C-alpha cells in the first residue's frame, strides 16, 4: 500500500472492502439461490452428520411427492411451522403421502411419519459452517452489526467527500 495514504483513507478502504465482501456474500448465499428456486435453512444439530454437519447451510428445492425416493434428504416442518428438520427418507407410504425419516447420526427413525404437506423440499446441496453465519445475520445482533458497518461506510464516504472538497478549495 502507498505510504502516503492517510489513516482515514486506510479506514475507508477497509470499511469499503468489508462492506463489499458482506454484500457479495449476502447476494451469493441469500438472493441468488432464491432466484433459482431454493430456500435455505441452517442445520442446528448433528443428526445428519457426517453428511450434513451441524452449522451447515442447506439449499432446499420444492419437489413433487412422486419424485421423492428413499435415500433423499428432505427438509420438513412440524405442525405449527415453528421448527424445521432435515432428515433422510427411509420409507414412503404412497397411499397416505407420508414419509418415514431418520437422521443419519440417530439410532432410531423419527417418532412419527411426516406428511408430504409439511415437506419443504429436497436438499440439493449444503455448505458446511455457513449456517452459523446465516444464523448470525438473521439475528437481531447480526442485523445491528450489518447496519453499523453500512452506517460507518456511509460516514467514511461523507468524510472523504468533505476532505476532498476542502482540499480542492484550498488549492484554488
Question: CA 22 to CA 29: how far, in whole Å?
Answer: 10
41 and 124 in a single domain? The answer is: yes
134 inside domain: no
Question: CA 122 to CA 114: how far, in whole Å?
Answer: 14
- Containing structural domain, residue 71: 37-129
Which residues of the chain form beta strands (DSSP E)?
A: 38-42, 57-61, 73-77, 84-93, 98-102, 114-115, 119-127
99 inside domain: yes
25 and 76 in a single domain? The answer is: no
pLDDT at 143: 86
2 inside domain: no
52 and 71 in a single domain? The answer is: yes
Q: Cα-atom radius of gyration of the chain, to the nearest Å?
A: 23
DSSP-assigned letter for residue 74: E
Q: What is the pLDDT along the chain (172 residues), one digit of tens a residue?
A: 555 667 777 777 787 787 778 778 777 777 788 888 999 999 999 999 999 999 999 999 999 999 999 999 999 999 888 999 999 999 999 999 999 999 999 999 999 999 999 999 999 999 999 889 888 888 899 889 888 888 887 887 888 788 888 877 777 6
> What is the CB-side half-sphere exposure of residue 55 using CA atoms within 13 A?
6
Q: Number of folded domains in the chain? A: 2
111 and 73 in a single domain? The answer is: yes
125 and 68 in a single domain? The answer is: yes
pLDDT at 4: 62
Instruction: Check which CATH number belongs to the domain holding 67 and give it.
Output: 2.10.109.10
The residues near 25 (Cβ < 8 Å, ≥ 6 apart) are 133
77 and 97 in a single domain? The answer is: yes
Beta bridge mates, 77 = 84
41 and 24 in a single domain? The answer is: no
32-61: burial string, b at 16+ Cβ within 10 Å, e else:
ebeeeebebbbbbeebbeeebbbbbbbbbb
96 and 42 in a single domain? The answer is: yes
pLDDT at 168: 79
> What is the CB-side half-sphere exposure of residue 43 using CA atoms within 13 A?
29
115 and 66 in a single domain? The answer is: yes
30 and 50 in a single domain? The answer is: no
60 and 118 in a single domain? The answer is: yes
Q: What is the pTM of this model?
A: 0.76
43 and 30 in a single domain? The answer is: no
Q: What is the separation, in whole angstroms, between the first and last Cα of the chain?
A: 29
Amino acid at each position: 500500500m502507498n505510504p502516503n495514504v492517510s489513516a482515514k483513507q486506510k479506514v475507508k478502504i477497509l470499511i469499503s472492502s468489508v462492506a463489499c465482501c458482506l454484500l457479495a456474500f449476502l447476494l451469493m448465499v441469500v438472493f441468488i439461490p432464491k432466484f433459482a428456486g431454493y430456500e435455505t435453512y441452517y442445520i442446528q444439530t448433528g443428526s445428519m452428520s457426517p453428511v450434513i454437519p451441524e452449522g451447515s447451510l442447506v439449499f432446499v428445492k420444492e419437489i413433487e411427492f412422486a419424485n421423492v425416493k428413499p435415500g433423499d434428504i428432505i427438509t420438513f416442518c412440524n405442525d405449527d411451522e415453528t421448527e424445521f428438520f432435515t432428515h433422510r427418507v427411509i420409507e414412503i407410504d404412497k397411499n397416505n403421502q407420508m414419509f418415514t425419516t431418520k437422521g443419519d447420526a440417530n439410532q432410531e427413525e423419527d417418532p412419527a411419519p411426516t406428511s408430504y404437506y409439511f415437506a419443504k423440499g429436497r436438499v440439493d446441496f449444503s455448505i458446511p459452517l455457513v449456517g452459523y453465519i446465516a444464523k448470525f445475520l438473521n439475528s437481531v445482533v447480526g442485523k445491528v452489526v450489518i447496519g453499523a458497518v453500512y452506517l460507518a461506510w456511509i460516514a467514511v464516504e461523507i468524510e472523504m467527500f468533505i476532505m476532498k472538497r476542502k482540499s480542492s478549495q484550498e488549492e484554488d
